[in-house]
């Protein structure tokens, strides 16, 4: 809206309000005399009051901001401003009249009636105008897409309120499974039935788009609605989940396309923010692997708890540059970005001596199973030797807590990557028993959706290229969790841990990868096998059909948080472990791959090479065919 049109609308609003001052006063006199003629002696008194009231009310109207609002969006705050402006204006008007003429000739009933009539005269036209605009009475027929809103709760109410101001959509009806809401109107839009009749209502009402207003809705219900929408060829959009709605605003602009995370997600995780705040506030926090999927999200969420300093360390220049550019301008917390590799002992010692981190989150690791399988020496140097050295340096520098980020692949590992992560777990647990300076806490969870190298970005690329989508085995399953969800639980576990624990994050039910592929194809607006083929390529070296979250010898216990379980630690002979680590160091330098596998199996007895590794592996990953 141009400045000229804004001033025109304000002058029109002011003119309307000025007219209502004498009109409300005239109505008050008229009611005083039982809707009959006003006696002539009172006419002069009427004009006297009008002469005083007009300038007084003009000032009070402006003072209380009656013209800051827009009639189109008139609401309770506007009504409150009107009440204040009329009350103050009427009080000053009659106070002046009292001082001047002791209210002689002014009927007491007029003094009482006038403010109420003026409030009604100012408020009713504004609310009527908004109602007519919202319901398009007396205006052009709405041309937006016919929208069915699923969810008649608070989010649905806020969404439809904003939709009625927007020309893009035409809200037709609500669906909600709460029978008590059926038949009710929300801003003029009827709640007609539940989601069991979704397909029937979409067809009967000629729906052109489905809008899901269920920030706390179950993933199962969302999958059902998305599948039905896809079958009916009707696009479907959703409001973000509660964690995404950080500012709490629900409006048309927050609607987005359905993501695979929406279909695989679970109930919202409630954190003990007070406990996490006590864990991180005013602390110096180091995050290794800060440029990775988990590391970068750790940095984002740690900032919310106001540490004194956040030190971000990564060996990848571009990844570190990205996260520094995103959060490095923070004005409250000192943010430091450091290039470095946890395998570089002198660099790590310098980092600890210079910045004195009190809390360490070690998210630095090689995690891609086939690549680590083909490059075992590099995987061991980072995941085992680098982590062990980092843990030692943390103890030397008096760190309070060291949180090791692990994986479900460390349980009964069938590949080098899983075995290296299990070795790191064992070392941290046993180092904890040997020191009182640093508490070592391990967090173990499964795959995270959308992380670098995960299956989701791979499937997205394959779908964009027209397929086929490649799945290794029709029965393969994995646990999945969103990156923000995993990091929230890592922070919670870190705040709970006293030292030596392995916290196992509740991953829900495992998901078949082929089902994931089919869902992603449907989300892209295509049909599996018809538009996009799914091909099974066979298990890769070191790959298991299913993952486990804890070893059968580990006793699993509950904790104070319903989504976090506690696994018992396993003691090992410390001197023997140090001897094995030294042998690993030598074999890594010599690239003795077969010896590395044997040593790793001594360190992690439950490590059994997967039979899918059909070809022997030479040093540096060369496959012999």
Could you give the residue numbers annotated as active site? 409
- DSSP 8-state symbol, 195: G
Tokens 């075992």 locate to 376
* 452: nearest Cα among 381, 549, 365, 373: 365
Contact 215, 208 (CB under 8 A): no
What gap in Å lies between CA 280 and CA 291, rounded to an integer?
20
* Residue spans of alpha helices (H) in 33-75: 40-63
What gap in Å lies between CA 415 and CA 600, rounded to an integer?
11
Contact 419, 604 (CB under 8 A): yes
Q: Give kind and range of the element (H or E) at residue 214.
A: none
Hey, how many other C-beta atoms are within 10 angstroms of the C-beta on 412? 19
What gap in Å lies between CA 154 and CA 215, rounded to an integer?
10
Going from the C-alpha of 258 to that of each of 156, 449, 590, the distances in angstroms are: 17, 14, 50
> Going by C-beta distance under 8 Å and a sequence separation of 6 or more, which residues neighbour residue 220?
none
> Going by C-beta distance under 8 Å and a sequence separation of 6 or more, which residues neighbour residue 534?
467, 468, 469, 470, 471, 514, 517, 518, 521, 528
Going from the C-alpha of 436 to that of each of 351, 491, 601, the distances in angstroms are: 22, 21, 30
Q: Which two tokens stand for residue 359?
A: 């809390």
What gap in Å lies between CA 13 and CA 353, rounded to an integer?
67
Q: Give kind and range of the element (H or E) at residue 273.
A: helix 273-280
Q: Which two tokens stand for residue 589?
A: 């330098």
* Residues β-bridged to residue 339: 314
Q: Which two tokens stand for residue 456?
A: 């989701």
Q: Give kind and range of the element (H or E) at residue 101.
A: helix 76-101
What gap in Å lies between CA 483 and CA 322, rounded to an integer?
17
* 516: nearest Cα among 460, 590, 557, 588: 460
> Going by C-beta distance under 8 Å and a sequence separation of 6 or more, which residues neighbour residue 279?
305, 359, 401, 491, 494, 495
Q: Which two tokens stand for residue 293?
A: 């999927």
* Residues β-bridged to residue 606: none
Q: Is 606 left (phi over 0), alpha (psi -120 to 50) or beta?
A: alpha
Residue 11 CB burial class (10 angstroms; 0-12, 13-18, ≥19): exposed
Tell me if the bond preceding 615 is cis, omega within 30° of 0.
no
Tokens 């000032």 locate to 59
The HSE-up count of residue 242 (CA atoms within 13 Å, CB side) is 13
């Amino acid at each position: 809206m141009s400045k000229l049109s804004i001033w025109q609308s304000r002058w029109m609003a002011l003119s309307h309000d000025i007219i209502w001052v004498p009109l409300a006063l005239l109505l008050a006199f008229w009611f005083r005399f039982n809707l009959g003629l006003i006696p002539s002696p009172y006419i002069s008194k009427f004009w006297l009051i009008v002469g005083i009231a007009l300038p007084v009310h003009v000032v009070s109207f402006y003072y209380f901001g009656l013209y800051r609002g827009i009639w189109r969006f008139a609401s309770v705050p506007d009504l409150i401003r009107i009440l204040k402006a009329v009350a103050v204006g009427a009080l000053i008007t009659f106070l002046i009249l009292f001082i001047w003429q002791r209210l002689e000739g002014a009927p007491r009933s007029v003094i009482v009636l006038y403010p109420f009539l003026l409030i009604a005269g100012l408020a009713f036209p504004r609310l009527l105008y908004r109602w007519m605009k919202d319901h398009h009475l007396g205006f052009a027929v709405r041309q937006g897409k016919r929208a069915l809103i699923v969810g008649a709760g608070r989010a649905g109410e806020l969404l439809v309120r904003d939709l009625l101001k927007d020309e893009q959509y035409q809200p037709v009806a609500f669906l909600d499974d709460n029978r008590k809401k059926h038949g009710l109107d929300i801003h003029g839009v009827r709640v007609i039935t539940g989601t069991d009749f979704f397909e029937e209502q979409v067809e009967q009402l000629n729906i052109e788009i489905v809008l899901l207003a269920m920030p706390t809705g179950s993933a199962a219900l969302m999958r059902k609605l998305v599948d039905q929408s896809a079958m009916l060829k009707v696009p479907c959009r959703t409001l973000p989940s509660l964690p995404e709605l950080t500012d709490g605003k629900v409006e048309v602009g927050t609607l987005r396309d359905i993501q695979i995370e929406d279909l695989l997600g679970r109930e919202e995780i409630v954190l003990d923010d007070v406990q996490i705040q006590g864990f991180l506030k005013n602390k110096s926090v180091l995050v290794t692997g800060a440029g990775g999927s988990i590391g970068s999200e750790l940095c984002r969420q740690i900032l919310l708890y106001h540490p004194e300093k956040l030190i971000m360390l990564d060996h990848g220049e571009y990844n570190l540059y990205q996260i520094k550019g995103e959060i490095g301008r923070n004005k409250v917390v000192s943010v430091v970005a450091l290039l470095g590799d946890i395998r570089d002992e002198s660099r790590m010692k310098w980092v600890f001596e210079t910045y004195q981190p009190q809390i360490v989150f070690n998210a630095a690791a090689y995690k891609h199973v086939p690549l680590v399988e083909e490059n075992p020496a590099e995987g061991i140097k980072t995941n085992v030797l680098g982590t062990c050295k980092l843990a030692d340096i943390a103890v030397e520098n008096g760190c309070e807590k060291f949180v090791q980020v692990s994986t479900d692949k460390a349980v009964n590992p069938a590949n080098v990557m899983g075995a290296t992560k299990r070795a790191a777990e064992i070392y941290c647990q046993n180092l904890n028993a040997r020191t009182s300076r640093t508490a070592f806490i391990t967090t173990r969870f499964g795959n995270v959706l959308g992380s670098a190298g995960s299956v989701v970005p791979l499937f997205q690329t394959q779908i964009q290229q027209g397929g086929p989508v490649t799945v290794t085995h029709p029965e393969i399953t994995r646990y999945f969790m969103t990156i923000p969800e995993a990091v929230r639980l890592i922070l919670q576990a870190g705040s709970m841990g006293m030292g030596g624990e392995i916290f196992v994050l509740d991953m829900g039910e495992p998901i078949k990868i082929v089902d994931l592929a089919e869902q992603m194809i449907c989300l892209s607006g295509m049909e599996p096998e018809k538009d996009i083929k799914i091909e099974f390529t066979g298990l890769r070296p070191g790959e298991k059909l299913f993952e486990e979250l804890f070893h059968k010898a580990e006793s699993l216990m509950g904790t104070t948080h319903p989504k976090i379980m506690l696994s018992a630690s396993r003691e090992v002979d410390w001197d023997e472990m140090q001897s094995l680590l030294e042998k690993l160091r030598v074999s890594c330098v010599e690239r003795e791959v077969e010896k590395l596998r044997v040593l790793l199996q001594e360190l992690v007895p439950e490590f059994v090479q997967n039979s899918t590794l059909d070809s022997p592996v030479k040093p540096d990953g060369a496959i012999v065919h």
